[in-house]
Amino acid sequence: MALASRTPLFPKGEGSWAKMQANALLRAVEEMFHRRDIDALVKGFTEDCVFRFAEQSEQRGRDALRKFFTARLSRQKDYRLKKTLLALDGNALTNLWEGTWEDASTRKQMIGRGLEVWRMRDGMIAVWDAAFNVWEQGGERKSPIM
């Protein structure tokens, strides 16, 4: 189910978003991740979406997005997510997110933190830019270059 169809109050086209609408979207996305609902996540993006996630090369379209989410969630057992709206400018939403999970391969408890910008169109994410850091729970939080 597309994000736009779940909440008909989302702006059409590239119209400006209100804080209430942006927060409703963040809560809906959190729930989709908690349910591991890849179909709903993918339908929340435009068919011609562009996404750049961490060190991954730029990718385009829902097929690439589905492969990305499937691979990501296959490694994240018991994934719990919290998104916090940081900024809103017209149709651009910036949020900070923090997640916890058990790595399906190593069985280690993990924590991730990221910053993302979504450029919206018709209530869906058209462009997704995300920075992401991950570390073992209780482990040192440092960049490999530090």
Quick check: is 142 in a domain?
A: no
pLDDT band (50, 70, 90) for residue 1? very low
Residue with more model confidence, 2 or 120: 120
Cα separation, 90 vs 70, in Å, equals 31
In a domain, 144, yes or no: no
In a domain, 108, yes or no: yes
Indicate the pTM of the whole model: 0.87
> Which CATH number characterizes residue 98's domain?
3.10.450.50
Residue 85 lies in a domain: yes
Q: Residue 11 — very low, low, confident or very high, per pLDDT cuts 50/70/90?
A: confident
3-state secondary structure of 9: coil
In a domain, 89, yes or no: yes
Q: Grade residue 142 by pLDDT with cuts at 50, 70 and 90.
A: low
| Per-residue model confidence (pLDDT) at position 23 | 95
CA angle 6, 30, 123 (to 5 degrees): 35
What distance, in Å, lies between the first and last C-alpha atoms of the chain? Answer: 43
Decide if 5 is inside a domain: no
Host domain of residue 28: 11-136
Question: Rounded mean pLDDT of the chain?
Answer: 90
Count of structural domains, the chain? 1
pLDDT per position as a tens digit, 64-122: 999 999 999 999 999 999 999 999 999 999 999 999 999 999 999 999 999 999 999 99
Residue 20 lies in a domain: yes
Q: Considering the domain boundaries, does residue 121 fall inside one?
A: yes
